[in-house]
Amino acid sequence: MKFEWDKNKAESNRKKHGVEFSEASTVFADPLEITINDPLHSISEYRFLSIGKSKQGQLLVVSYTEHQANNIRIISARLATKHEKKHYEHNN
């Protein structure tokens, strides 16, 4: 899997949510990671949300799109809410 992101968006995300996109990319290695479609934000392209633990042990929600097979462009990343944590725990 290859990851990419906009540098300015990554910096904005780090300031707003305290999460680096490099850390967010490690969520996809979590064997218990959950991915769902994000139709609310899939206007010009299909977007997805993944909930999983990063290598640093934080439970993150990552918004992304797939530009090509196995080429993931991260759009945003943040800590999971209490509701999202329960969803992750309930499904694993």
Identify the structural domains of the chain with CATH numbers, from first to last. 2-90 (3.10.450.530)
The residue type at 67: H
pLDDT for the residue numbered 39: 61
pLDDT for the residue numbered 92: 79
Q: What is the dihedral of CA 80, 72, 15, 78, to 10 degrees?
A: 0
* Size of the chain in residues: 92
Q: What is the block-wise mean pLDDT of the chain (92 residues), using blocks of 10 residues? A: 95 98 98 84 78 98 88 96 94 82
pLDDT for the residue numbered 9: 97
Average pLDDT, rounded, for the chain: 92
Query: For residue 47, what are its two tokens?
Result: 């977007």
